[in-house]
Amino acid sequence: MADNAANEIIAILGGTGKEGKGLAYQWAKKGHHVIIGSRALEKAQAAAREINQKLEALTSTRVEGMENGEAADRCNLAVLTVPFSAHTAMLESLKGKLDGKILIDVTVPLVPPKVTKVQLPAAGSAALEAKQILGENLQIASAFQNISYENLWNDRDTDCEVLVTGTSKETRAAVIRLVEDAGLVGWDAGPLENSVVSEGLTSILIGINKQYGTDGAGIRITGVRR
C-alpha cells in the first residue's frame, strides 16, 4: 500500500449506508480517492453527491459512485460495509475481483430484532466468513465495528479507538494507517480469529447506547504508552 494518499483508491462496497458514508467522508478529507459501491448505480451516485456536498468547503477531493463490481475492479483496497443479512451474497459476488488486494470487513453479525445479543456465525465471525468464501488470494482485515456513524459523519471529537485484526501484520499496519486517516486511534489486535471480540462488542455497545440514551458508546485501550 502506498503511503501517498493520492495513490490510494478505496472502494466502499455496499457503501450507501451510514457507516460507509461516514468512512468515505473522513478518507476523502485526507485526499484519498474514494468510490462508493452499490448494487444500484443510481443509489451509489446519490450517496456520493451527499458526501461531496459535505466536502465542498473542505477539500477539492470528490467521491465517485459506481456499481459494486466496477468499484471492486478499480480499487486497490476495498471496504465492506453491508448488513450481515447481505454479507454472504455480497462476498460470493466478489470472488476473484479482489485477489491481491486488501479487504477491510466492517460487517457486524447483528440479527434483528435482538441486536443487543451477540450472535456470531458458524465461521466464528463475519470476517472469518469472508476469508472462508474469498480464499487465500487476498489479505483480510476486520475494523471499525465499534465506531458510530455519528462520530464519523459529524466530525465529533471522539476518544473511541479501533481494534484491527487481520491475516498478516503488514495488513494490520496498512489498515491502522487508514484508521489514523479517519482521525481515530487504531490498535493491532492480532490475527483475524480475534475479530470475534470486536464484532461481539458491537452488540454490547448498542445495548449501552440504548440503556444510557446516547449514540456514541465506544472502547479505549488503557495502560499502554504510544
DSSP per-residue string spanning the chain: --SSGGG-EEEEETTTSHHHHHHHHHHHHTT-EEEEEESSHHHHHHHHHHHHHHHTTT-S---EEEEHHHHHHH-SEEEE---GGGHHHHHHHHTTTTTTSEEEE------TT-TTS----TTSSHHHHHHHHH-SSSEEEE--TTS-HHHHHTT-----EEEEEESSHHHHHHHHHHHHHTT-EEEEEEEGGGHHHHHHHHHHHHHHHHHHT-S-------S---
12-28 pLDDT, tens digit per residue, is 999 999 999 999 999 99
CB 27 within 8 A of CB 181: yes
CB 14 within 8 A of CB 71: no
Does the pLDDT of residue 148 top 90, yes or no?
no
pLDDT at 73: 96
> Closest Cα partner for 148 from 205, 91, 107?
205
**All domains of the chain in start order, with CATH:** 5-212 (3.40.50.720)
pLDDT at 7: 61
Does the pLDDT of residue 51 top 60, yes or no?
yes
> Closest Cα partner for 128 from 88, 68, 183?
88
190-223 pLDDT, tens digit per residue, is 999 999 999 999 999 999 999 999 988 999 999 9
CB 29 within 8 A of CB 61: yes
157-168 pLDDT, tens digit per residue, is 778 899 999 999
Residue 107: how many CB atoms within 10 A of its CB? 28
| Residue with more model confidence, 3 or 177 | 177
- Round the CA-based radius of gyration of the chain to a whole number and report it: 16
Does the pLDDT of residue 47 top 70, yes or no?
yes
* Grid cell of 166 as nine digits: 487481520
> Closest Cα partner for 97 from 73, 133, 128?
73
Categorize the per-residue pLDDT at 3 as very low, low, confident or very high, splitting at 50, 70 and 90: very low
CB 36 within 8 A of CB 21: yes
Alpha-carbon distance of 65 to 119, in angstroms, equals 32
Q: What is the pTM of this model?
A: 0.94
52-103 pLDDT, tens digit per residue, is 999 998 999 999 999 999 999 999 999 999 999 999 999 999 999 999 999 9
User: pLDDT over 70 for what percent of the chain?
Assistant: 97
Region of poorest pLDDT, from 37-41, 54-58, 148-152, 184-188: 148-152
pLDDT at 4: 44
